[in-house]
Amino acid sequence: MDSWFEMISGAKKIMEKYSVWTCGYCPEVQVGPKGHKVRMCKASKHQSRNGLHAWQEATMDDLVGPNYVWHVRDLNEPALDNNLKRYYGKAPAVVELCVHAGAPVPDQYRSMMRLDVVPPECDEFDLVA
């Protein structure tokens, strides 16, 4: 990730390979299959959804803003669970995307993404550190 623009052009390619979702009611973005189930949607009109986001396919514009996404360690694991949200870290959407494409996690984001925290259900998960 040398420059912001390289990162953006790289992210466009990655988006073709990974699914990226955005909420139709708030700016939250999710990288990975399906939207997570952490009930943090702030959209006031949508209280009937109980905080669940309304996921739809994201565009590049959804990624380049100051959007922070939940860091998903393994895209093959089940979607993030609301009950475990305190174990999840966050990362800027573009960084999260690049990490899933194989880029190393930038040092300044390591603690933010909680790479040192192991969720209870992932006891034998190998931290790639």
Q: Which residues bind Zn ion (CB under 5 A)?
A: 23, 25-26, 28, 41, 53
- Residue 43: both structure tokens together: 């959209």
Q: Which 3 state secondary structure label does DSSP give 70?
A: strand
Nearer to Zn ion, 7 or 72 (CB): 72
Report the residue number, 26 or 103, with the smaller CB distance to Zn ion.
26
Separation in Å, CA 98 to CA 26, 28, 44, 123: 23, 18, 32, 25
Q: Which is nearer to Zn ion, 52 or 99 (CB)?
A: 52
Q: How far is the CB of 20 from Zn ion (least distance, A)?
A: 15
- Which tokens hold the place of 50? 């109980």
When the beta carbons of 26 and 112 are compared against Zn ion, the nearer one is 26
Least CB distance to Zn ion at residue 74 (A):
23
For residue 12, give the H/E element and its range.
Answer: helix 4-17
- Counted residue by residue, the chain has a size of 129
Q: How far is the CB of 129 from Zn ion (least distance, A)?
A: 31
Cβ count within 10 A of residue 102? 7
State in angstroms the smallest separation of the CB of 55 from Zn ion.
Answer: 8
Tokens 């194989």 correspond to what residue?
102
